[in-house]
């Protein structure tokens, strides 16, 4: 009995993280400050046994602009802080078109935006609300979809451009040297032809 209790307890300990992880998550193609990224929000299940009809993803204040990816099963709408000024997106809303997302199925919603330049070390959080046929699920607090911004890379801030410039300078030098070589070769060919013609005339 004691052994059975130990194994049962271990099973519960293993099951707990799996249950806790079964929420809306955010996976970014790039987390570097100043880079462009596509963040995939995965909705793994409905509200208990109820299908999902609407998914509302709120944007951080430091990310004013966002481009949603089209999902053929959902309509998409951007909500603005001021309807007259579409420069600050507060949320992106996906609404099921024909049928809601079944509770035992998953779907993914992708948003593209620029990671803030000065956000290294900060956590970008995207409070998300699932509106289901019956009930809602709010992914906030400890369960909020988020990722931590990492240090900027060379590509993110255009350091590659300076390398391109250096390569251009080398290329110019190579062209000058190559041009000089072609000129010398052409001169040598001319002298050779003149010599052949002179011998033929003689």
Reported as a single tens digit per residue, the pLDDT across 128-160 is: 999 999 999 999 999 999 999 999 997 654 333
pLDDT at res. 89: 96
Per residue in 152-174, pLDDT (tens digit) is 997 654 333 323 333 334 444 44
Tell me the pLDDT of the chain averaged across its residues.
77
HSE of 27, CA atoms in CB hemisphere, 13 A:
7
Q: Does residue 26 register a pLDDT over 70?
A: yes
User: Under a CB-based contact definition with an 8 Å cutoff, are residues 29 and 149 in contact?
Assistant: no
pTM of the model: 0.67
pLDDT for res 156: 52
Q: Which residue in the block uniquely carries the two structure tokens 């390398």?
A: 163
Helix ranges, the chain (H):
2-21, 159-201
Q: Where are the domains of the chain?
A: 22-148, 159-197
Per-residue pLDDT at 201 exceeds 50: no
Distance CA 102, CA 6 (A): 37
What is the structure's pLDDT at 83? 76
Question: Which superfamily is assigned to 22-148 in CATH?
Answer: Uncharacterised protein YcnI-like PF07987, DUF1775 (2.60.40.2230)
Tell whether the model's pLDDT for residue 80 goes beyond 50: yes
Question: What is the pLDDT at residue 109?
Answer: 99
Instruction: Pick the closest to residue 58 from 81, 90, 27, 24 (CA basis).
Output: 90
Top-confidence residue, 69 or 14: 69
pLDDT confidence of 191, banded at 50, 70, 90? Answer: very low
């Amino acid at each position: 009995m004691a052994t059975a209790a130990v194994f049962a307890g271990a099973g519960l300990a293993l099951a707990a993280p799996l249950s806790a992880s079964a929420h809306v998550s955010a996976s970014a193609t790039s987390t570097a400050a100043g880079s462009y990224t596509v963040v995939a929000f995965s909705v793994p299940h409905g509200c208990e046994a109820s299908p999902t009809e609407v998914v509302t993803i709120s944007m951080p204040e430091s990310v004013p602009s966002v481009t949603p990816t089209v999902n053929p099963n959902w309509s998409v709408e951007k909500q603005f802080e001021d309807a007259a000024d579409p420069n600050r997106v507060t949320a992106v809303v996906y609404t099921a078109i024909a049928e809601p997302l079944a509770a035992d199925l998953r779907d993914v919603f992708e948003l593209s935006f620029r990671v803030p330049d000065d956000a290294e070390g900060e956590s970008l959080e995207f409070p998300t609300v699932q509106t289901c046929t019956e009930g809602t699920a709010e992914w906030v607090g400890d369960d909020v979809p988020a990722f931590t911004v990492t240090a900027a890379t060379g590509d993110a801030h255009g350091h590659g451009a300076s390398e391109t410039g250096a390569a251009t300078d080398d290329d110019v030098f190579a062209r000058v040297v190559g041009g000089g070589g072609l000129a010398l070769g052409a001169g040598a060919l001319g002298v050779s032809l003149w010599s052949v013609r002179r011998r033929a005339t003689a």
